[in-house]
């Protein structure tokens, strides 16, 4: 869907490069849109594109969306603006209520501008360049990207309030999650969970990780602090619109899951370093 990302882009402040990992992929692109083909997966393909000398020069932030996200140039501009305004390391747009999703809690939550989180999905992360440069070497060793979602949130010296879900910028995820990827990896004898285990060992990560929210900014610009406060505000926000949240999974069950996790788990926010790094 990437041609739609340029819709309405009369004077855009970003460049678009298409990284293709399926040699049989067919799509139209304009003459000003570079296309790089590298068979494999999304992340090792992105490494081949972004690790080239000078590839990141001149850029403050890089957005790495999947090709099945329905968004426009104005959405992309808004993502970059939010990164700057809130001094974020990594963030993602929230998903629209009619999206396919892996985690219910990344659907746009009514009442919030953004929510600070320990987990930014591999579907559409936007990373500040220095953070991207820290994690980029690990892209070379993964096709699935499993585990990146909770590692890149903890690469700063103080990761608190540096990763967020941007509720004010919802985009639509148009396809079921993960089916194509797992099929392609299986043909190559690869398992996403094995790739994740390697990454976890590199960074000394333990425990199970799911999105947990500990602070936020509401639609009036006011700070919301604490997991409990976030839990109640999120539950109320989603409950108000539960009939609009699609039918992928029962919304009320997911709301109860949010409450349980928010009140019983703490996000891990200590800085991460690769084994052997100071």
- Is 272 among the domain residues? no
The Cα 68–Cα 85 span in angstroms is: 27
The Cα 232–Cα 246 span in angstroms is: 21
Query: Higher pLDDT residue, 109 or 20?
Result: 109
- pLDDT, average across residues 228-251: 90
Query: pTM of the full predicted structure?
Result: 0.93
The Cα 58–Cα 178 span in angstroms is: 33
The Cα 2–Cα 76 span in angstroms is: 12
Q: pLDDT tens across 98-116, in order? A: 999 999 999 999 999 999 9
Where in 178-270 does DSSP place strands (E)?
213-218, 223-225
The Cα 249–Cα 102 span in angstroms is: 10
- Is 22 among the domain residues? no
Which band of pLDDT confidence, cut at 50, 70 and 90, is reported for residue 226? very high
Beta strands 163-173 and 90-95 are parallel
Q: What is the total count of domains within the chain?
A: 1
pLDDT at 1 over 70: no
Alpha-carbon dihedral angle through residues 41, 43, 48, 53, given to the nearest 10 degrees: 170
- Is 184 among the domain residues? yes
- Is 93 among the domain residues? yes
DSSP-assigned states of every residue in 74-94: HHHHHHHHHHHHTT-SEEEEE
Q: Between the CA of residue 45 and those of 15, 20, 155, what are the distances in Å?
A: 18, 7, 22
Which band of pLDDT confidence, cut at 50, 70 and 90, is reported for residue 249? confident
139 beta partners: none
- Is 6 among the domain residues? no
The Cα 273–Cα 115 span in angstroms is: 25
pLDDT at 198 over 70: yes
The percent of residues in the chain predicted with pLDDT above 70, rounded, is: 93
Nearest CA to 47 among 62, 60, 58, 32?
A: 62
Q: pLDDT tens across 41-77, in order? A: 899 999 999 999 999 999 999 999 998 999 999 999 9
- Is 39 among the domain residues? no
pLDDT at 12 over 90: no
Mean pLDDT of the chain: 91
- Is 227 among the domain residues? yes
Per-residue pLDDT at 23? 67
The Cα 94–Cα 168 span in angstroms is: 8
Q: What does DSSP assign to residue 98? A: T
- Is 216 among the domain residues? yes
The residue segments making up the domain with residue 256 are: 60-264
In our burial notation (b when 16+ CB lie closer than 10 A, e otherwise), range 176-199 reads ebeeebeebbeeeebebeebbeeb
pLDDT at 26 over 70: no
């Amino acid at each position: 869907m990437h041609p739609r990302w340029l819709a309405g882009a009369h004077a855009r402040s970003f460049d678009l490069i298409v990284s293709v990992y399926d040699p049989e992929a067919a799509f139209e692109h304009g003459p000003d849109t570079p296309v790089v083909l590298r068979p494999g997966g999304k992340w090792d393909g992105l490494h081949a594109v972004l690790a080239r000398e000078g590839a990141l020069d001149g850029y403050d932030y890089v957005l790495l969306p999947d090709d099945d996200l329905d968004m426009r140039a104005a959405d992309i501009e808004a993502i970059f603006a939010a990164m700057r305004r809130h001094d974020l390391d990594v963030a993602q747009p929230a998903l629209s209520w009619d999206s396919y999703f892996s985690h219910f809690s990344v659907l746009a939550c009514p009442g919030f501008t953004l929510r600070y989180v320990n987990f930014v999905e591999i579907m559409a992360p936007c990373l500040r360049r220095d953070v991207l440069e820290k994690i980029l070497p690990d892209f070379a060793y993964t096709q699935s990207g499993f585990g990146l979602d909770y590692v890149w949130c903890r690469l700063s010296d103080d990761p608190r309030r540096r990763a967020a879900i941007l509720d004010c910028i919802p985009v639509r995820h148009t396809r079921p999650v993960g089916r194509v990827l797992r099929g392609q990896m299986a043909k190559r004898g690869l398992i996403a969970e094995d790739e994740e285990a390697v990454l976890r060992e590199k960074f000394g990560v333990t425990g199970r990780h799911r999105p947990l929210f500990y602070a936020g900014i509401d639609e009036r610009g006011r700070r919301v602090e604490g997991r409990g406060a976030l839990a109640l505000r999120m539950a109320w926000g989603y409950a108000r619109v539960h009939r609009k949240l699609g039918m992928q999974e029962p919304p009320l069950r997911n709301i109860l899951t949010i409450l349980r996790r928010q009140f019983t788990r703490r996000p891990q926010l200590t800085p991460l370093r690769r084994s052997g790094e100071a």
